[in-house]
Structure 1
Amino acid sequence: MTGQLEVAVVRWPDQSPSVEDGLAGLLTDYHLRTEAEKGRAVADVHGLPERYRAEILAPRTAFADDAVLLALTGDTVVGCLVVAAPADGRSEIKRLWTDPAFRGRGIASGLLSAALAHAAESDVSGVRLSVWKWRSGAVALYERLGFVITESWDERDQLVCMQRPV
């Protein structure tokens, strides 16, 4: 990444409210955009499914067992990614999102690299993720970082499942 951007692992008890608010803002953008792309546009957080509202309104609770990685420029959160707590010897990457104003600067790659390093430190054998088929840029990024398409563990239409060893 370039400039003053850095990737930091969030430890919830130690974080300021502005960091949590920044994460909530990115999650809001992520979920509203995803619902619109699925053809189910909603006006605001209140129109989202409950599980997504819970992430936005109480990220400390929603991700209590997970590692949350943030890309920061100063005190401003410009990217996020969640590494779910390991299960069955693997971690799962979720919620990769970069503020559109900061795209093209290597933020997503930096977050993914940090997530893979975190997974390796967690002594897991692999990492998996799912991504919507229409997010071709994200699929290409994952493939560049060694992820391969695998049999789906989630039968939602147009969801691509990927994995890679750590």
Structure 2
Amino acid sequence: MTDHHGISVVRWPGRAPLSEDGPARLLTAYHLQTQAEKGEVVAGVDELPERYRAEVLDPRAAFVDDVVLLALSGDAAVGCLVLTAPVDGRAELKRLWTDPDHRGLGVASGLVGAALAHAERGGAGVVRLSVWKWRAGAIALYERLGFTVSASWDERVQLVCMERVM
């Protein structure tokens, strides 16, 4: 656990009895915003593509093999990030989201830092991620944290692939 500006980063589910609502609420906001940015506005969770709806409805099952990190302000979840288990020495960051009311407080960098430390302890030699080209702030954050643009492993248009050697 880390603490920065009153924000703690914890692994979920952990020993503390955190509600399922926090991760689901953050993932809902992440997916609805992403769909809107792609020009595919949906009214709610029921209209999300099935794979994203599954993450929102049961994050514990959707990420059973992954590490889910939450940023907490008091007992409220204000940020999340998923780190996949390493495969062939590569782990992947996914679903980085900070509640808009808590942006600019170091939540995202705290989550990424905690994920990188966990990946390194777990033996990952490389951590990779993909981010939409229009998310310039996220790309700048990743670059500040040592990620560089890499060859794409995902051919979706406007998706930027990045990685960091540990």
Structures share fold, TM-score greater than 0.5: yes
User: How far apart in 1 are the matches of 2:66 and 2:91?
Assistant: 10
Q: Separation in 2 of the partners of 1:2 and 1:155?
A: 36
CA-based RMSD of the aligned residues comes to 1.2
Secondary structure of the corresponding residue to residue 163 of structure 1: strand
Partner of 2:71: 71
Q: Which residue of 1 aligns with 2:126?
A: 126
Residue 28 of structure 1: aligned partner:
28
Query: Which runs of structure 2 are paired with 1:89-104 in the superposition (5 Å)?
Result: 89-104=89-104
Name the amino acid aligned to 2:143.
E
Q: How does 1:143-162 map to 2 (within 5 A)?
A: 143-162=143-162
Percent identical: 63
Give distance in 1, aligned partners of 2:45 and 2:29: 9
CA shift at 1:11, angstroms? Answer: 3.0
How far apart, CA to CA, are the structure 1 residues paired with 2:10 and 2:4? 15
Aligned to 2:12: 10
1:110, 1:162 → 2: CA distance?
18
CA distance in 1, matches of 2:24, 2:17: 13
Match of 2:116 in 1: 116
For residues 150 and 44 of structure 1, the distance between their equivalents in structure 2, rounded to whole angstroms, comes to 34
Task: Give the SS at the match of 1:85.
Answer: coil
Letter aligned with residue 82 of structure 1:
V
**CA distance in 1: counterparts of 2:141 and 2:18, whole angstroms:** 31
Q: CA deviation at 1:118?
A: 0.3
Please give the alpha-carbon distance, in whole angstroms, between the structure 1 residues aligned to 2:119 and 2:58: 24
The residue type equivalent to 1:134 in the other structure is: W
Render the CA deviation track for 1:10-64: whole Å, top value 9, x for unaligned. 136x45352x211100000000000000000000000000000000000010000
Q: TM-score, normalised by structure 1?
A: 0.95
Shift of 1:4: 2.0
Matched residues in 2 for 1:58 and 1:3: separation? 30
Relative to total residues, which structure has the larger helix share, 1 or 2?
1
Residues in 2 aligned to 1:10 and 1:138: alpha-carbon distance in whole angstroms: 23
Structure 2: gaps of 5 or more residues: none
The runs of 5 or more residues in structure 1 that have no matched partner are none
Tell me how far apart the structure 1 counterparts of residues 45 and 64 of structure 2 sit (CA, whole Å): 21
TM-score, normalised on structure 2?
Answer: 0.95
